[in-house]
Amino acid sequence: MTSLLTIRPVTPGFAAEASGVDLRQPVPPALAAEIDAAMDRYGTLVFRDQALDDPTQRAFGEALGTIETSRATVDVEQARLADKTINDISNLAADGTILAADARRRMFNLGNQLWHSDSSFKAVPAKYSMLHARVIPPRGGATEVADMRAAWDALDAEMQEKLRDLVCEHSLLFSRAMLGFTEFTEAERATFAPVRQRLVRFIPSTGRRSLYLSAHIGRIVGWPVPEALALIRDLMEHATERRFVYSHKWRVNDLLIWDNRTTMHRGRPYDDKRYPRDMRRVTLTDVASTLQQAA
Ligand code: OGA
Ligand code: MN
């Protein structure tokens, strides 16, 4: 069978550049299957020179799965983008100007600089995130992705045994508190109430396991909080060693896809009070809570 995609791996097992397709065109099932296979193999794919707009980015997402529509942010009524399937990952206010230095949304968005997995704080978390660059700053603002399957594989057997059946509590309240952002309304506290997820995931399509870490973790069920957070911090350090990390330097019209089941990611700083950075994300939802996963 001839393949539609050309794949150029960044490393033998993690991150690859994919080319040979125009993602503005309808995605035939054979191409969707090749993308899934490449995602299973590499965890992260880069497509360059894809001049998507909101409708074509959305259509591409729909071709690969079910799109998340609930917006997990603060001050949702101040949305800049009308289409609820497009997540606004920018430093722009509803009127298109750069967010003020003390804007609440800006403070909240800084949480994206912590290593995390998207929507791990939702009962059914995210599968793929597809982030597209519309406007980029002159310097900084890279996105880093870390390989949580390799991080799991690199742990010794004793540690794997200790972690295997642990369950964590995830919430946006926990990740934002890490940066000292604690001014949530009662309604936001209710919306962002913690959810439980397994710390070790099993991915049926590959038979591999991954460490399901995220800045959103604030508890391990049944553990004292300091002991839990000390372990999570240790695992975070391990899992984000440079040997597990791909750093993506953006060009306009790049589409970066990562699998939230098997990777963590973070945004890197840039001069966000001065330069616009307009990134838009379509996110696919996973099929079930990790608590339901096969043993
Ligand atoms: C995201 C995210 C980081 C960045 O889109 O989910 O965390 O570099 N982005 O913008
Ligand atoms: Mn994210």
Residue 21 lies in a domain: yes
Residue 201 lies in a domain: yes
Q: Is the pLDDT of residue 140 over 70?
A: yes
Q: Is the pLDDT of residue 77 over 80?
A: no
| 44 C-alpha to ligand 1 centroid (Å) | 14
Q: Which CATH number is 181's domain given?
A: 3.60.130.10
Q: Is the pLDDT of residue 283 over 80?
A: yes
**In the chain, what is the straight-line distance between the N-terminal and C-terminal CA atoms, in Å?**
34
* pLDDT average, residue stretch 209-229: 98
142 within 8 A of 247, measured Cβ to Cβ: yes
Mean pLDDT of the chain: 96
Q: Is the pLDDT of residue 1 over 70?
A: no
**Ligand 1 atom index nearest CA of 87:** 5
pLDDT tens digits, one per residue of 118-128: 999 999 999 99
Ligand 1 in reach of 143 Cβ (< 6 A) = yes
Residue 267 lies in a domain: yes
Alpha helices in the chain (DSSP H): 29-42, 54-64, 104-109, 148-153, 157-163, 172-178, 186-191, 225-239
Alpha helices in 202-288 (DSSP H): 225-239
Residue 1 lies in a domain: no
Number of domains within the chain: 1
The structure tokens listed for 269 are 């700083």
Residue 272 Cα to chain centre, angstroms: 20
Query: Which of the 8 DSSP states describes residue 92?
Result: B
Q: What percent of the chain has pLDDT over 90?
A: 94
Ligand 1 in reach of 90 Cβ (< 6 A) = no
pLDDT tens digits, one per residue of 5-41: 999 999 999 999 999 999 999 999 999 999 999 999 9
Q: What percent of the chain has pLDDT over 70?
A: 99
Q: Is the pLDDT of residue 2 over 80?
A: no
* pLDDT average, residue stretch 209-232: 98
pLDDT at res. 294: 65
Q: Give nearest CA residue, ligand 1 atom 8.
A: 267
The structure tokens listed for 96 are 């298109």
Residue 113 lies in a domain: yes
Within 8 A by CB and 6+ apart from 283, the residues are 61, 67, 68, 87, 118, 119, 126, 128, 129, 130
Q: Is the pLDDT of residue 295 over 60?
A: no
| 127 C-alpha to ligand 1 centroid (Å) | 15
The structure tokens listed for 192 are 């962002």
Range of the domain at 225: 6-292
286 within 8 A of 261, measured Cβ to Cβ: yes
| 234 C-alpha to ligand 1 centroid (Å) | 23
pLDDT tens digits, one per residue of 41-62: 999 999 999 999 999 999 999 9
* pLDDT average, residue stretch 134-161: 98
Residue 159 lies in a domain: yes
Q: Count CB atoms within 10 A of the CB of residue 57.
A: 24
Predicted confidence band of residue 74 (pLDDT cuts 50, 70, 90): confident
The structure tokens listed for 89 are 């990952």
Residue 179 identity (one-letter amino acid): L
pTM for this predicted structure: 0.97
* pLDDT average, residue stretch 188-215: 97
* pLDDT average, residue stretch 74-80: 82
For residue 122, give the nearest of 164, 82, 73 by alpha carbon.
73
pLDDT tens digits, one per residue of 148-174: 999 999 999 999 999 999 999 999 999
Pocket test residue of 247, 281, 284 for ligand 1, highest count of atoms within 8 A of CB: 281
Residue 25 lies in a domain: yes
* pLDDT average, residue stretch 94-102: 96
